[in-house]
Chains A and B, each alone.
Chain A
């Protein structure tokens, strides 16, 4: 009885200490970033009200619609293209890096490290460096998206391969299959649906990242958003935001549907 009481008491003390430490960090972070909860809370109703009064596309804004569509189309192509090409490279790196399909330990470590570095260098850094030599061009956006997508997909594919295919790999190895037979007959068919699902997830993410990259590098929908935002032409900004919402939700719906069918 007493021992049990002690356990509960100890847990309570532990929880209190964790909570206090968290509060301390929150306070420190608040001071460091000059953030005020009150100001944040106070600006929410204002923003919502502002959104409903200013971000509604007017007839004038609709005149910019063809321009917006052109840029949006560019962004969609860019996101899908960056994802699919990165996916092809990521597949090979994932095969080299995964525990079940690695060729040797050194190569596995190398591909893991490369992927991790690409994944963790912020997309902003890529965009800002590439824009210096490639200029305000779609190629800048493409490479910036490609590098981060590649890093992420290697991790995702590697986990998929590790989780899914040990049994079939073992069975194929037992029958004396070669490495290539094992990979192309066992691992890839097993993991393809899951990997495609990751590719769809990444296309979705990339459309949003493409907006950010476009803002920094002057390409795609991000550029046109920045343009009208700085011109204070808010109805057009609203139109652009709405069209991004529609595209992202449509792509999400399609990918959910496909995912449900193939998984």
Chain B
């Protein structure tokens, strides 16, 4: 008996073409997937021709870049600042990130309660979601520069700008973990006549605290990177500002390298801690 006959005799859902059983059938999600993939590939191939390269000499540029990267990573040295200054500047960057994370986390907690669909009315939750996506759409550096016009360049503007993005990020993360709480528990407490804040303190907080801690630390890790950027682009102080000075002011690539190593080591430590926290509190899958 032919393969196709066996196939057609067992179930009608198996389709056969050229003697082979077709393992893929048409469905919409697959179609969209392939369409998106095709679009991205075509875009990647075509897009480079739309950019204006201003007659760049790629060969020399790459040669110099390799040379610069060699200077940076293989011969790091501190010339303009001492190692003590570098460490203090790193601490300042960490402090900027810490402050904006803590302030953001406190505000996000209350916003998230007002945003979680199982704790708050729909209109309120939708308002906050729209507000958040508006905040998130403006890059952090623009927020910081806008705040700087009134507050002046410095830590106040930087922390305000970074806090805004932290709020948009954390309130979404928190409210999503609030929404995963077992609805029965909230109902049970409501039935016993518990007040609104009883539900928050005795159900919401204990149930979600480990998720919240892990999200908050992840945001702290992100904010550290953002704080470096703000130091460089918006004069917020810290190691980012030193990085900007040594590269754009002194053209001292050895120092850029040394500062980058400092920043990198701290970032790696933060990443390890954040993975540890995630694994310990939530459990690795």
A residues bordering B, Cβ < 8 Å? Answer: 22, 25-26, 28-30, 32-36, 39-40, 43-44, 46-47, 50-51, 55, 73-74, 77-78, 80-81, 84-85, 116-117, 119-125, 128-130, 132-135, 137-139, 163, 192-193, 196, 199, 208-209, 211-212, 215-216, 222, 225, 229, 241, 244-245, 248-249, 252, 258, 261-263
Contacts and interface: CB of A to CB of B under 8 A. Distances in A.
Nearest to A85: B44
A43 B146 contact: no
Contacts of B159: 33, 35, 40
Contact of B53 (A84, A85, A137, A262): A137
28 contacts: A25-B98, A29-B96, A33-B95, A33-B99, A34-B154, A40-B156, A43-B160, A51-B146, A77-B50, A80-B44, A121-B267, A122-B240, A124-B229, A124-B240, A124-B243, A125-B256, A125-B259, A129-B253, A132-B68, A134-B61, A135-B61, A137-B53, A211-B142, A212-B140, A245-B134, A245-B137, A249-B133, A262-B36
Contacts of A199: 40
Contacts of A134: 56, 61, 65
A47 B152 CA distance: 11
- Chain A CB count within 10 A is highest, among B137, B149, B247, for B137
Contact of B156 (A36, A129, A135, A258): A36
Contacts of A163: 285
Interface residues of B, number: 79
- Chain A CB count within 10 A is highest, among B98, B136, B139, B150, for B139
Given A121-B260, A124-B240, 8 more contacts: A26-B99, A33-B92, A80-B43, A119-B271, A122-B225, A128-B247, A129-B253, A249-B134
A221 B218 CA distance: 29
Contact of B47 (A29, A55, A80): A80
Given A84-B43, A262-B29, A28 B228 contact: no
